[in-house]
């Protein structure tokens, strides 16, 4: 596989559940990003990892917990979410955070999350 792959594509979870979103890239990139896309709102940057180190946490509630075990994989662990957390969660990658400025990002297709 090439590009950025996100699984699952769709997820419905209750407010008391625990689930995880997975992102995998086969591009040899070293920076990975989580964005939240809600209807009628700009994309919100959530977390940035560069060479497996978290470089940005954009005031995200603790019910969202990221994990980056290596440069190819990024997870978003979810627990006790609220209905307003329902959104499309997008993963992206770039060579590193500096080259993300020069070359832009490669995005996955997203996970559509519904919290009931």
Partner 1 sequence: AQSVTQLGSHVSVSEGALVLLRCNYSSSVPPYLFWYVQYPNQGLQLLLKYTSAATLVKGINGFEAEFKKSETSFHLTKPSAHMSDAAEYFCAVSDRTGGFKTIFGAGTRLFVKA
* Rounded-to-integer distance, Cα 85 and Cα 51, Å: 28
Alpha helices by DSSP H, the chain: 99-103
* Rounded-to-integer distance, Cα 86 and Cα 6, Å: 17
| Nearer CB in complex with partner 1: 3/14 | 3
CB 95 within 8 A of CB 53: no
| Nearer CB in complex with partner 1: 82/99 | 99
* Rounded-to-integer distance, Cα 56 and Cα 108, Å: 20
Count Cα atoms within 13 angstroms, Cβ side, for 94.
15
The CA R_g of the chain, rounded to the nearest whole Å, is 13
Residue 97, interface with partner 1 (CB under 8 A)?
Answer: yes
- Residue among 25, 34, 110, 115 that touches partner 1 (CB under 8 A): 110
| Nearer CB in complex with partner 1: 14/104 | 104
Q: What x-and-dash track marks residues 41-60 binding partner 1 by CB under 8 A?
A: xxx-x--x------xx----
| Nearer CB in complex with partner 1: 17/105 | 105
Residue 103, interface with partner 1 (CB under 8 A)?
Answer: yes
Binding site for partner 1 (CB under 8 A): 4, 6, 35, 40-43, 45, 48, 55-56, 90, 92, 97-98, 100-110
């Amino acid at each position: 596989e090439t590009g950025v792959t996100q699984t699952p594509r769709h997820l419905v979870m209750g407010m008391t559940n625990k689930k995880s979103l997975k992102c995998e890239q086969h591009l040899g990139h070293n920076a990975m990003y989580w964005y939240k896309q809600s209807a009628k709102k700009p994309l919100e940057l959530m977390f940035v990892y560069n060479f497996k180190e978290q470089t940005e946490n954009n005031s995200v509630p603790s019910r969202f917990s990221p994990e980056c075990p290596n440069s190819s994989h990024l997870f978003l662990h979810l627990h006790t979410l609220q209905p307003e957390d329902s959104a499309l969660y997008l993963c992206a990658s770039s060579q590193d955070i500096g080259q993300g400025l020069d070359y832009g990002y490669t995005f996955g297709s997203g996970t559509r999350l519904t919290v009931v």
